[in-house]
Each structure stands twice: as C-alpha cells, then as structure tokens.
Chain A
Amino acid sequence: DIQMTQSPSSLSASVGDRVTITCRASQSISSYLNWYQHKPGRAPKLLIYAASSLQSGVPSRFSGSGSGTDFTLTISSLQPEDFATYYCQQSYSTPPTFGQGTKVEIK
C-alpha cells in the first residue's frame, strides 16, 4: 500500500490566517491526490481532486498544488467554518489510502 503522511498533525490558527497543510506519498503518485474536509458529526467533503482541481461549490480560498510525492493544501484566508480535520487521499492505486489527518483548530 502507498503510505500518505500529512504534516502537521494539528495546527492552531486565527481567522484570516493563511494555512498550509502538506501531504507526502511514499512513492510517486503523479497528480492522483484528493483533499477532503471532515467536521465532527458530518460527512467528509471533497475539496480538491487531481491535486489542484477545485470541486464544484468549494470556495476559491482553498487551493491544492504538487505532483509526484509532495502536495500542499492551502487555505488563503481561514474562515470560522474552516475549522475541521483535513485528509489527503491518493487515488493512484488500490487501496486508495488516506493520510492520518490534520486538525485545524482555533487559536
């Protein structure tokens, strides 16, 4: 299985901050990388697919970049509704493994 490692595991930030989350794959996965947002008691929500394509309806403050083994999710200006846990997922091979998650908390 391909291992996905996110950093940091958690972070504290303020509304308006620029937030960057990193995801590293154990082998090259080209651009087969998705990002999800997960809030407690809610279904996970797709934010980004194909490393940098914004899912319909997702605010433009979210962006993704990277290819190969290193990827980044950026929130340009953190909003109150963005406090959640974020997961990367590779879709290069089966099983499509997730990272361990990054919890974004209010500072």
Chain B
Amino acid sequence: EVQLVQSGAEVKKPGESLKISCKGSGYSFANYWIGWVRQMPGKGLEWMGIIYPGDSDTRYSPSFQGQVTISADKSISTAYLQWSSLKASDTAMYYCARRARTGVGGTYYNYMDVWGKGTTVTVSS
C-alpha cells in the first residue's frame, strides 16, 4: 500500500525551531515529488513547496520562500518541513502529499494523489 506517514502533533513556543517529517512507503520514494500544504484554522489549503527526493530539487511558493525549509533524505524515504523561528501565525495543520503525473492525450498532468494524515502544529506562548 502506498502511504505517507507524518510525525505527530507539536506544541511549541514562539521563536522555537521545529522539523516535522513525512515518511513514504509502498513506492519508489526517490522518484516522486513530495509537496507540503498548509491549512490554517478555519481556512483553505495553501501549497507551500515541493521537493524531488532523488536530487533534492526544491521549489517554494513565493508566500513561503524564506519562511520554511523543505528537505528530504531518500535513504530513509522521508521528507521534512522545518522552521528556524516559529511564529503564532504558523499554527496550522500541515499535510505532505505525493505529486503524481499522468499523460492524457499526449499532455502530462500533475496532481497530488497520496496524502499524509497531517501534522498539527500549535505555536503559543
């Protein structure tokens, strides 16, 4: 079974650092991009960035560039999302998801087909 297993809920104070994880299994982890998606309380989904574990090529949404760091260790099939200095506004649910690609009529389309169950991050003094 293809799955992404995320690390557990975190409660942190403003200014602290944090690294959450997303471990893939059931497929060739290195060969699929892994993205991170934020959902703030009561809000919608926001795409943060994506990494290709095979060579660690990483892309960020301009909204999150410089705010977080995405990394991966293909040897243990795990992707990471980290903060160096958390803010209260980082309180949210964070999902990782696998990006798959399919050809339809000669054109290739990307979509997020497997999702982790999410990691809740609470930042409060």
Instruction: Determine whether B88 belongs to the interface, using a CB cutoff of 8 Å to chain A.
Output: no
Pairwise interchain contact A91-B117, C-beta atoms closer than 8 A: no
Chain B contact residues, majority secondary structure: strand
Q: How far is the CA of A63 from the CA of B104 in the complex (A)?
A: 16
- Interface residues in A, total, Cβ within 8 A: 28
Q: Which residues of A contact B62 (CB under 8 A)?
A: 1, 95
Chain A contact residues, majority secondary structure: loop
Instruction: Determine whether A61 belongs to the interface, using a CB cutoff of 8 Å to chain B.
Output: no
- Interface residues in B, total, Cβ within 8 A: 23
Q: Which residues of A contact B110 (CB under 8 A)?
A: 32, 91, 96
Q: How far is the CA of A80 from the CA of B107 in the complex (A)?
A: 35
Interface code B12-52, partner A: CB below 8 Å = 1, 0 otherwise?
A: 00000000000000000000000001000000111100000
Pairwise interchain contact A87-B44, C-beta atoms closer than 8 A: yes
Interface code B93-118, partner A: CB below 8 Å = 1, 0 otherwise?
A: 00101000010100101111101111
Pairwise interchain contact B102-A53, C-beta atoms closer than 8 A: yes
Closest 4 CB pairs of A and B: A43-B115, A95-B61, A49-B111, A50-B109
